[in-house]
Structure 1
Amino acid sequence: MKLSKKFILEPHFFAVLAGLALPIALQDLIKFSLSLADNMMVGSLSEAALGAVTLASQPFFIFSMLSFGIASGGGVLVAQYYGKHDAESIQKIVSITICIGVLFSFLFGLGTTLFPRLVMQLFTNVPELIDIGAEYLRIQGFAYFFYGFSNTMIMLMRSTREVKAGLIVNLSAFVLNIFLNWTLIFGHFGIPALGVQGAAMGTVIARAAECFALLVYVRFMECHLHFRFKKMFHFDAVLFKDFLHYSIPVVINETGWSIGVAMQSVILGHLNSTIVAAASIVGTLQQMALVSIFGVAGASAPIIGNLLGSGKNLQDAKRYANTLILAGFFVGAFMAGSLFIFKDPILTLYAIPHGTIELAKTFIGIQCIMILLQSYTSPAIVGILRAGGDTTFTSILDIGTLWIFSIPFGYLAGFEWGLSYAMIFLMLRLDEIVKFPILVWRVEKKSWIRNVTR
């Protein structure tokens, strides 16, 4: 069979893919580079500080996934209505999505700032980690108030193929955050060294600046989402119903998945600080390696969504999907290989004991295999199936494999079977192995190729 019958080979397609994937990948790289820099700066204080801040960051991770789910649900509709050139419907969907995203940001922000010790006790029973983490959370919780708006808006802009503005805003916030962390954690320019409190303060200030810059942009310069403050609460009942239909499964998916990942941290947090520190380092490096895959996945959603929403050439959707998945695999293989080859020099940057370094090397070997699997699963779930409105299936698969396989087997490996740390880590990643063949079947089935606009 000719390649042109299974794949898109036109140069214009790859130019569009690169134009979307690279800025999205850079945004994710900035986000995870910040986590890496935070880990390195906080890790230089002590292993306990690194472990505590890692655990204290789990609520923010849960919220970021919840926010991603809300925005992705709205993005399914925005992408297809953008392909249909329906500006009025886009404006209404954006208002619905932003209101719900901001509501949850306030709920999470209040919970972490008012009850930081209670939140930390959900993740660990080590008194030292609870004390340090609560100190961090009490301040860092204010970042939620700003992140809810900015992250949701950036995600919605991606659905209309507007990615450069979000990249510029994220990059500016990244530079500001690194500078503030360096200044406040270690004490420079006459400011006393504040340790983990300084890391939290730097994050809050940078998130506030990011939110303000984005508010100015979407009000006065952005021209695809048609966002207006005065129309934020003008809900359309029919579109709100559509939003709930496609977004609730995604929200459940991302929330259930993020809680599951946090539960993995709970399992590790009840073992000892060494495995927490090693897993924290590897988790950050994994996210760094996945940015290019996330770029392809993020670009796939508007490409597929715009195509399906236009109602034209739907027979090409499978060829588009094949090409996007293949692109994800190539970049995933490159990133996994690079991480494995350069793991030693990377780990020398951390001021942690030799035993933790050796354990992190073992974890990296396991993680590289998972990155290869994610080079298929991420574009398939986030970019292809969701773009066609197949959100219920992806939700059941993503959550089910995590809660039925990874968490129970990880718990048993750690607390009942007494297996090695490497085997515990592998059991906690079983979900990627299980869902891979199921996703291959679902993409080939083509039931996701449909127009969901009215």
Structure 2
Amino acid sequence: MMNKEFKGKLIQLALPVTIQSLMQSSLSLIDQIMIGSLGSASIAGIGLAGKFTSLFSVMAGAIVTASGILISQYFGAKNEKGIRNSFFLPLYISAFFALVFSVISFAIPNVVMSVYADDAETVMKASSYLRWRALGFFPSVATLFISTLLRNMKKAKLPAIAGISAIIVNTVLNWFLIFGIGFFPKMEEKGAAIATVIAGIAEMLIVGTLFLREKKTRNMSLKPVFSFPREFVVTAIKILAPILVGEALWSLGENTYAIIYGHLGTEPCAAMTLMYPIQGIVIGALCGVSSAAGIIVGNSLGAGENEKAYAEAKSFVALTITAGAILALVVCAVSPLYVRLFKVPDETRAVTIKILVSFSLVFIAKVFNMVVGGGVLQSGGQTKFLTAVNIIGTWGFGVPLGFITAYVLRMPIWKVYFFLSLEEYVRLIISVILLKSRRWMKNVAI
């Protein structure tokens, strides 16, 4: 049962992130409709390139998650030095990964994308998108870290303002650059990538400006540091390493899924890509809850209030299951109308509907793993548990089932997607066991 204090914190932290995510997902849908008019090869190509860029996004997100765990608990302990160290050390690590992915994406995009698909046109479209998209990796790192700090300062609405502004910029520029409106050249998939990069730079500048204003108001010291106490580095590595390994392996698994889809043909791959915007919308509806879970439970653990933290965790479980069931039903109901938004063959629309129904059947497990696994269980810094969960689910079940159903049993793509996605329920079961054990409840800010 949620008390008044819990509800107030949840709304304050989750609502801005949710609104931002829903805005982003909704406008991503508009982007997808624009790209859809370019043909199945462009839809599939940009979708596959997006999967590779997600490798970087997931790794940067994992590092930010570790940073957020530490920052959350240090805020609970009112330790400003700990907050500063928790911000800068992970930031430097993320910047290194941004450099590596930028060089690979810009220098050899054809080599990278040829792993994902056989069709020459799809590979060409994907490579063109990836080369330009690489320019946005550094701005996204800065935005992620500043946004995490602001959310822990109970100023979640500020990164939401920056994010929504960037989304609008991205959508408008997509229209101009994809189709060549006015004096802008028609750049198709290149235009989509450039629009995303410019919007990312705008978001970084806005959120940075808002943070500096808030920092000045609070008289907060956050000067860059380049040396860190050994005890802190050891603690940070203990938290970061399992998350980074786990998320990297999970993302590699997701990219393996994309490779499986890509080699099933352009049209099936296009159908899978059409599923992503609506997936983003319904998952985005609960991503604010996940963000709030990590901060709220982490604050309680950092303050030494374990019973309160466990009660909050149970409230997040109930909220996630209820909301997940409702959203899954909505996906099933709107899927026939959704596919009509795209200029694709009827066969592709029919396959997309089947994929969406399959998605709805695993949706509760997906959001449970996001909120409880990615939010609650990681708030105590016991990230090795979640690493094991991700490895077992993705590589022990998902990847093998994907290859067997696609290449041995030769099932259609929607069945392949459904069976490999059952790994979400494996992760859910393990997460429930870990949640009840309370072994995740640790105070790392001592």
TM-score normalised by the chain length of structure 2:
0.96
Distance 2:143 2:366 in 1: 27
Q: Which amino acid aligns with 1:282?
A: M
Name 2:177's counterpart in structure 1. 184
Q: Which amino acid aligns with 2:316?
A: L
Q: Compared with structure 1, are the counterparts of its residues 224 and 268 closer, same or farther at alpha carbon in structure 2 (3 Å cutoff)?
A: farther
- Provide, for residues 50-107 of structure 1, a one-character-per-residue CA deviation record: whole Å limited to 9, x for no partner: 1011111112211111111001011111111100111111012111121112221121
Shift in Å, 1:375 = 3.4
Name 1:426's counterpart in structure 2. 418
Name 1:333's counterpart in structure 2. 325
Check whether the contact 1:73–1:246 (CA below 8 A) recurs between aligned residues.
yes
Q: 1:387 aligns with which of 379, 396, 409?
A: 379
Q: Which amino acid aligns with 1:153?
A: I
Q: Compared with structure 1, are the counterparts of its residues 227 and 266 closer, same or farther at alpha carbon in structure 2 (3 Å cutoff)?
A: farther
* Helix, strand or coil at the partner of 2:341: coil
Shift in Å, 1:234 = 3.7
Distance 1:428 1:350 in 2: 26
Distance 1:224 1:69 in 2: 28
Q: Is residue 2:371 matched to residue 1:409? A: no
Q: 1:161 aligns with which of 131, 154, 164?
A: 154
* Helix, strand or coil at the partner of 2:183: coil
Check whether the contact 1:95–1:234 (CA below 8 A) recurs between aligned residues.
no
Check whether the contact 1:94–1:225 (CA below 8 A) recurs between aligned residues.
no
Distance 1:426 1:225 in 2: 52
Please, which runs of 5 or more residues in structure 2 have no aligned partner?
none
Q: 1:254 aligns with which of 232, 247, 258?
A: 247
1:436-451 superposed matches below 5 A: 436-451=428-443
Q: Compared with structure 1, are the counterparts of its residues 249 and 203 closer, same or farther at alpha carbon in structure 2 (3 Å cutoff)?
A: same
Distance 2:411 2:220 in 1: 55
* Helix, strand or coil at the partner of 2:357: helix
Q: Compared with structure 1, are the counterparts of its residues 225 and 445 closer, same or farther at alpha carbon in structure 2 (3 Å cutoff)?
A: farther
Deviates more, 1:58-67 or 1:349-358: 58-67
Name 1:296's counterpart in structure 2. 289
Q: 1:21 aligns with which of 7, 14, 33?
A: 14
Name 2:131's counterpart in structure 1. 138
Name 1:219's counterpart in structure 2. 212
Check whether the contact 1:325–1:375 (CA below 8 A) recurs between aligned residues.
no
Distance 1:155 1:225 in 2: 19
Check whether the contact 2:102–2:135 (CA below 8 A) recurs between aligned residues.
yes
- Runs of 4 or more, structure 1, over 3 Å off, are 222-228
Check whether the contact 1:101–1:152 (CA below 8 A) recurs between aligned residues.
no
Q: Compared with structure 1, are the counterparts of its residues 34 and 256 closer, same or farther at alpha carbon in structure 2 (3 Å cutoff)?
A: farther
Distance 2:30 2:391 in 1: 30
- Provide, for residues 320-349 of structure 1, a one-character-per-residue CA deviation record: whole Å limited to 9, x for no partner: 111111111222122212121111221111
Q: 1:122 aligns with which of 112, 115, 118?
A: 115
Name 2:39's counterpart in structure 1. 46
Q: Which amino acid aligns with 1:396?
A: A
Distance 1:283 1:59 in 2: 15
Name 1:242's counterpart in structure 2. 235
Name 1:268's counterpart in structure 2. 261
Distance 1:158 1:443 in 2: 24
Shift in Å, 1:227 = 6.4
- Provide, for residues 21-76 of structure 1, a one-character-per-residue CA deviation record: whole Å limited to 9, x for no partner: 11121222233334323221111111111101111111221111111100101111
Distance 1:318 1:98 in 2: 30
Q: Which amino acid aligns with 1:377?
A: N
Name 1:354's counterpart in structure 2. 346
Shift in Å, 1:380 = 1.4
Check whether the contact 2:402–2:419 (CA below 8 A) recurs between aligned residues.
yes
Shift in Å, 1:192 = 2.3
Check whether the contact 1:140–1:200 (CA below 8 A) recurs between aligned residues.
yes
Distance 2:220 2:102 in 1: 28
Name 2:337's counterpart in structure 1. 345
Shift in Å, 1:307 = 0.3
* Helix, strand or coil at the partner of 1:362: helix
1:170-181 superposed matches below 5 A: 170-181=163-174
Aligned-residue CA RMSD in angstroms? 1.7
- Provide, for residues 146-188 of structure 1, a one-character-per-residue CA deviation record: whole Å limited to 9, x for no partner: 1121123213433343311110000010000000000011111
* Helix, strand or coil at the partner of 1:168: helix
* Helix, strand or coil at the partner of 1:374: helix
Q: Is residue 2:190 matched to residue 1:197? A: yes
Name 2:369's counterpart in structure 1. 377
Shift in Å, 1:257 = 1.0
Shift in Å, 1:225 = 11
Shift in Å, 1:216 = 2.4
- Provide, for residues 120-158 of structure 1, a one-character-per-residue CA deviation record: whole Å limited to 9, x for no partner: 112112211111111111211101121121123213433
Name 2:141's counterpart in structure 1. 148
Distance 1:403 1:419 in 2: 20
Distance 1:110 1:37 in 2: 30
TM-score normalised by the chain length of structure 1:
0.94
| Count of matched residue positions in the alignment of Structure 1 and Structure 2 | 445
Name 2:66's counterpart in structure 1. 73
Percent identical pairs in the alignment equals 26
Name 1:3's counterpart in structure 2. none
- Provide, for residues 388-426 of structure 1, a one-character-per-residue CA deviation record: whole Å limited to 9, x for no partner: 112101111112211111111111111111223332111
Check whether the contact 1:21–1:296 (CA below 8 A) recurs between aligned residues.
yes
Shift in Å, 1:238 = 2.1
Check whether the contact 2:146–2:208 (CA below 8 A) recurs between aligned residues.
no
Deviates more, 1:157-166 or 1:338-347: 157-166
* Helix, strand or coil at the partner of 1:348: helix
Q: Compared with structure 1, are the counterparts of its residues 219 and 97 closer, same or farther at alpha carbon in structure 2 (3 Å cutoff)?
A: farther
